[in-house]
A and B are shown apart, each in its own frame.
Chain A
Amino acid sequence: MSTAILRATAADLGARIAAGELTSVEVTTAFLDQIERVDGEVNAFLHVDRAWTLAQAEAVDARLATGENLGPLAGVPIAVKDIFCTQGVPTTCGSKILEGWLPPYDATVITRLREAGLVILGKTNMDEFAMGSSTENSAYKITGNPWALDRIPGGSGGGSAAALASFEAPLALGTDTGGSIRQPAAVTASVGVKPTYGGTSRYGVVAMASSLDQPGPCGRTVLDTALLHEVICGHDPMDSTSIDAPVPPVVEAARSGDVRGLRIGVVTELGGEGYAPGVELRFREALAALEAEGAEIVEVSCPHFSYALGAYYLIMPSEVSSNLARFDAMRYGLRVGDDGVNSVEEVMRLTRGAGFGDEVKRRIIIGTYALSSGYYDAYYGSAQKVRTLIARDFDAAFEQVDVLVSPSTPTTAFKRGERTSDPLAMYKADLCTIPSNMAGNASASFPCGLAPEDGLPVGFQVMAPPLADDRLYRVGAALERALDTARGHTLLDELAESPAGAYLNVVEA
């Protein structure tokens, strides 16, 4: 029984809870038990409070019992990245500087989850302040990739992706500043969507780089992810960059998967040297599958994408150096050296020195440098111009095609520790995902196979124009249907049934 619950889709669980065949308490208990069984090895969660979670499930069951209609995901549990403020529940953002902090309010996205009757299972591990591509920059623990525990689960949302792939949660929340939803999805064979910038509210999300940050849905299937997308997206007056427009018809697109006549552009610059052979192979196979489904495949050049990584690593740190000034040891969080002698400035310096990890320090220093007098024009100014060029590349491309595609990452999951002493090598994990953050358009990663050389998941990235998020789901659903039908099962089912996934203990007896 509990194995069937763990393996079910969120859509199915929601339907069975609504039909009275299952209760939210039964479903939630199954996932809490799975977390208890396997999270000692996976380390996806930073905070789980069984009593708090079960109380939410009981409350949803009570609401449903009165006949209240809460929508298709009512009663379904969800894992939440530790970057979202949850009232009275620890929110660390993976940093020692926020250890023990209990936010006094909920993020808008969290409020939306509660209104729709979703049940929060706990807070998931992440790179400190969402800075990283491996979740190794967390100040608390290292998360394993459920496919191979000595491999990275991607980052910064490695905890959320690992929770999905280890059947600890049917849904998860992430945030994406340069790929932190899509890259973890790619390396774990899950689905991750970065909505159009402004599509989801950033209110109550700990800020990293405000012009790039975007919360988004993560799931195991395209439809599940679309259902979550619909719950969390939409206008919020508390975020001045929130778009006041209807949410694109993502669920309808995920149910249809009709790509007949859709023009798909392969980005020339996102492939070739530096891309693993197995990644390119599975990417090409996915293209062929979409073509067989009726899509038209063409090649499109976006010449300035090659400069996106450089521009990103100037713009993002500049915004980081400004945003993280709020951690000043005065109103909340860590305070070090308050001995009655040290001045406020010394206390700030000592606190930030002790509370921030290496990557956060690197980025604040780069940002401080890029914004400093005498260097501003050459660094930050040039990067902003490159941002214009990238947006123009997208505009020109979207005049020719409906969506753009590429591999989600150049390689599969690398080994733990492999890139920690080489920041630049780590940054390259986000080579394909960064352009969409720079231009603000919608983008997603869908599983497209296992690389033959290492048996690890490969992600297929789809990029759509702003507010055309539904096209992502249309392509994702077509791909999912075509590849899973040909294979006879999903990739995560394959993990569950394989010797490598035996420790997950999710095979029906």
Chain B
Amino acid sequence: MALTPQDVRRLGALARIELTDEELDRLAPQLDVILEAVASVTEVAADDIPPTSHALPLTNVFRDDEVRPSLPQEAVLAAAPATEDGRFRVPRILTEEG
């Protein structure tokens, strides 16, 4: 077994996803099957093959550094879960331990 429920809980924490015990029991065996199946890629991935990250060659695209109109502040804040004084209001960032 590649992935235990404990591994999945840890990965969930890394990805900031709260998982219930019931979800861990259900998802862990499925993830294990998927990982086993996709591991076939290692069979043909020889050292001399360059990796491809993108289908077409990518180049940086620049535009002129000029001021352009952006969305009005109200439009940007309209969908926010919470706002205060024209800004996004977020929960506290520091924990007790600092």
When the two chains form their complex, are residues A104 and B75 in contact, meaning their CB atoms are under 8 A apart? yes
When the two chains form their complex, are residues B15 and A240 in contact, meaning their CB atoms are under 8 A apart? no
When the two chains form their complex, are residues B44 and A307 in contact, meaning their CB atoms are under 8 A apart? yes
In the bound complex, residues from chain A placing their C-beta under 8 Å from that of B30 are 362, 423
Cβ-defined partner of B18 (8 Å) among A101, A321, A353? A353
In the bound complex, residues from chain A placing their C-beta under 8 Å from that of B88 are 330-331
Could you tell me the distance between the alpha carbons of A362 and B29 in the complex, rounded to whole angstroms?
A: 11
In the bound complex, residues from chain A placing their C-beta under 8 Å from that of B50 are 385, 388
Cβ-defined partner of A362 (8 Å) among B34, B90, B94? B34
A493 within 8 A of partner (CB): no
Q: Which of B8, B15, B27, B30 has the most CB of A within 10 A?
A: B15
A148 within 8 A of partner (CB): no
In the bound complex, residues from chain A placing their C-beta under 8 Å from that of B16 are 325, 328, 345, 348-349, 352
Interface residues on B, range: 35 or more
Stretch at the interface among A165-173, A364-372, A498-506: A364-372
Report B30-48 CB contacts with A as 1/0, cut-off 8 Å: 1101110111111111100
In the bound complex, residues from chain A placing their C-beta under 8 Å from that of B46 are 385
On whether A356 and B17 interact (CB within 8 A), knowing A101-B79, A102-B79, A331-B80, the answer reads yes
Could you tell me the distance between the alpha carbons of A328 and B88 in the complex, rounded to whole angstroms?
A: 12
When the two chains form their complex, are residues A310 and B37 in contact, meaning their CB atoms are under 8 A apart? yes
Classify the secondary structure of A's interface with B: helix
Chain B residue with the shortest CB-CB distance to A306: B40
Cβ-defined partner of B56 (8 Å) among A102, A198, A331? A198
A387 within 8 A of partner (CB): yes
When the two chains form their complex, are residues A369 and B3 in contact, meaning their CB atoms are under 8 A apart? yes
Could you tell me the distance between the alpha carbons of A368 and B12 in the complex, rounded to whole angstroms?
A: 9
Report A364-400 CB contacts with B as 1/0, cut-off 8 Å: 1110110010000011011111111101000000000
In the bound complex, residues from chain A placing their C-beta under 8 Å from that of B80 are 330-332
In the bound complex, residues from chain B placing their C-beta under 8 Å from that of A439 are 55
When the two chains form their complex, are residues B81 and A334 in contact, meaning their CB atoms are under 8 A apart? yes
Q: Scan residues 1-25 of chain B and give those whose CB is less than 8 A from a CB of chain A.
A: 3, 7-8, 11-20, 23
Could you tell me the distance between the alpha carbons of A310 and B23 in the complex, rounded to whole angstroms?
A: 24
A259 within 8 A of partner (CB): no
Chain B residue with the shortest CB-CB distance to A348: B16
In the bound complex, residues from chain B placing their C-beta under 8 Å from that of A304 are 44
Classify the secondary structure of B's interface with A: loop
B86 within 8 A of partner (CB): no
Report A433-446 CB contacts with B as 1/0, cut-off 8 Å: 00001111100000
Cβ-defined partner of B51 (8 Å) among A309, A334, A352, A387? A387
A294 within 8 A of partner (CB): no
When the two chains form their complex, are residues B49 and A388 in contact, meaning their CB atoms are under 8 A apart? yes
B71 within 8 A of partner (CB): yes
When the two chains form their complex, are residues B41 and A307 in contact, meaning their CB atoms are under 8 A apart? yes
When the two chains form their complex, are residues B93 and A424 in contact, meaning their CB atoms are under 8 A apart? no
On whether A349 and B13 interact (CB within 8 A), knowing A361-B23, A361-B27, A362-B34, the answer reads yes
When the two chains form their complex, are residues B79 and A366 in contact, meaning their CB atoms are under 8 A apart? no
On whether A344 and B52 interact (CB within 8 A), knowing A307-B41, A382-B41, the answer reads no
In the bound complex, residues from chain A placing their C-beta under 8 Å from that of B58 are 240-241
Could you tell me the distance between the alpha carbons of A117 and B85 in the complex, rounded to whole angstroms?
A: 40
In the bound complex, residues from chain B placing their C-beta under 8 Å from that of A211 are 53-55
Q: What's the minimum C-beta distance from A74 to chain B, rounded to whole angstroms?
A: 29
Q: Which of A102, A212, A388 has the most CB of B within 10 A?
A: A388
Cβ-defined partner of A342 (8 Å) among B12, B40, B51, B91? B91
When the two chains form their complex, are residues A329 and B81 in contact, meaning their CB atoms are under 8 A apart? yes
A116 within 8 A of partner (CB): no
Q: What's the minimum C-beta distance from A332 to chain B, rounded to whole angstroms?
A: 4
Chain A residue with the shortest CB-CB distance to B7: A369
Other than the known A307-B41, A384-B53, A424-B33, what 8 A-B pairs have Cβ atoms closer than 8 Å? A310-B38, A310-B41, A313-B37, A313-B38, A330-B81, A352-B16, A368-B14, A439-B55
| Chain B residues within CB distance 8 Å of chain A | 3, 7-8, 11-20, 23, 26-27, 30-31, 33-35, 37-46, 49-56, 58, 60-61, 63, 71, 75-76, 78-82, 88, 90-95
Can you give 26 A-B contacts (C-beta < 8 A)?
Answer: A101-B79, A197-B56, A211-B53, A211-B54, A212-B55, A240-B60, A241-B56, A314-B41, A330-B81, A335-B81, A335-B82, A338-B81, A338-B82, A346-B91, A347-B91, A349-B16, A352-B17, A358-B26, A361-B17, A369-B11, A383-B41, A385-B41, A385-B50, A388-B51, A427-B34, A440-B54
| Chain A residues within CB distance 8 Å of chain B | 101-102, 104-105, 197-198, 211-212, 237, 240-241, 243, 304, 307, 309-311, 313-314, 321, 325, 328-335, 338, 340, 342-350, 352-354, 356, 358, 361-362, 364-366, 368-369, 372, 378-379, 381-389, 391, 423-424, 427, 437-441, 466
